[in-house]
Structure 1
């Protein structure tokens, strides 16, 4: 790390704006999350449903990637993908994960941790069919994260998958899954320009949800 690079990076502006009045916390973190998501949409935050999913492999090495949150229910936070993908393999070996969402324009962050469960064949099939034809073809044809030695092979595989899906709109890839992260903790973080950030965490146990404030 050079001094010039360090100074340059530290010069970037961060955490502008005032801290809003957040009001009382609801009993459920799902309710609070959906409130914040609605406010992010109303504020014009780009892709407010984009989240970083963090997993660990069979040796405990962490991995992360951004994806699109598909649904939020009382059960938890839903996302999808292929069981052959790195996240699918990692969840198969160690079905725990964390989701992180950051809404820069509002200085807000949400951190979710918990156990990941498959949603079953019906939900997985519905999720697959809700994708565009091209997205379904890519999902069906791609050998995700394997070395691609011939781009033409990939193009041909996708084109073939498009033809199959257009001829049979009910087709669903056998390896497609919908997953639900059932949270045991959800943390809400509100930035403060003076760094007196506001933080609240919900924890779930056999008696349900409880919450308390954290030191910044």
Structure 2
């Protein structure tokens, strides 16, 4: 992700769609990163990727990165084609990087058939990217119930409606189903969707990329070796 425009520069006006050369120039003019980015000291890396990830997450959040806990999750889709979407990090513990969804959703079905995934975080406010790859485990029903109950009523009602990514024939049908779900929660605040599931990505590889606008970029790789991690640096 080598920057192609000056840090903080203003992009040119969007060109007409049929002017391919102008489009290329406009794309290169789009600003990427702030002028000053922090370095990554590869001589002082922590022993586990969890520690570095959480340090980076706190730093980008403090620096004003919107939606800092959003990660792009890639799986093998129902048709064996790659499928990617954004999900929210809900926890990070000994199980791995956790996220939640319906077990019957496209990603839930994909993970049931092929329980492996790749995930990417991109935090431009500090010029950082994190990549993870490894197996995915579905956690317990208790973990799913806890995650469900911690969500807002609006979020829980939306989850109860279900049918994620299915064709919606009429918007009114969704609103009616949403209202029924909200009423059900009012009647039974302890209600939990039995299809709700929490998954943990337990990476075998975690790569940290630190961009730079004034010198070389830096990449550090953690690879799981038994119960520990081997750390190496990579050409950017």
Q: TM-score of the superposition, structure 1-length normalised?
A: 0.95
Which string of whole-angstrom CA distances, capped at 9 and with x for unpartnered residues, describes residues 119-176 of structure 1? 1100000001111111111111131111101111111111001011111111111110
Counterpart position of 1:11: 29
Supply the RMSD in Å over aligned alpha carbons: 1.4
Q: Specify whether residues 4 and 81 from structure 1 end up closer, same or farther in structure 2 by C-alpha distance, changes over 3 A only.
A: same
1:39 equivalenced with 2:39 (yes/no)? no
Distance 1:39 1:116 in 2: 27
Which one has the bigger strand percentage?
A: 1
Distance 1:172 1:87 in 2: 20
Q: How does 1:177-216 map to 2 (within 5 A)?
A: 177-194=197-214, 196-216=216-236
The alignment partner of 2:229 has SS state of: strand
1:154 equivalenced with 2:174 (yes/no)? yes
Which ranges of structure 1 fall in alignment gaps of 5 or more residues? none
Which string of whole-angstrom CA distances, capped at 9 and with x for unpartnered residues, describes residues 32-51 of structure 1? 10110111121121111011
The alignment partner of 1:183 has SS state of: coil
- Which of 35, 43, 49 pairs up with 2:69? 49
Q: TM-score of the superposition, structure 2-length normalised?
A: 0.87
Q: Which range moved further: 9-18 or 26-35?
A: 9-18
- Cα offset for 1:197? 1.0
Distance 1:10 1:30 in 2: 34
1:20 equivalenced with 2:38 (yes/no)? yes
Query: What stretches of structure 1 move > 3 A for 4+ residues in a row?
Result: none
Counterpart position of 1:166: 186
Q: Which range moved further: 174-183 or 191-200?
A: 191-200
Q: Which range moved further: 198-207 or 12-21?
A: 12-21
- Cα offset for 1:15? 3.1
Q: Which range moved further: 20-29 or 9-18?
A: 9-18
Distance 1:130 1:166 in 2: 15
Q: How many residues align structurally?
A: 216
The alignment partner of 1:90 has SS state of: helix
- Cα offset for 1:20? 1.9
Q: Which range moved further: 171-180 or 53-62?
A: 53-62
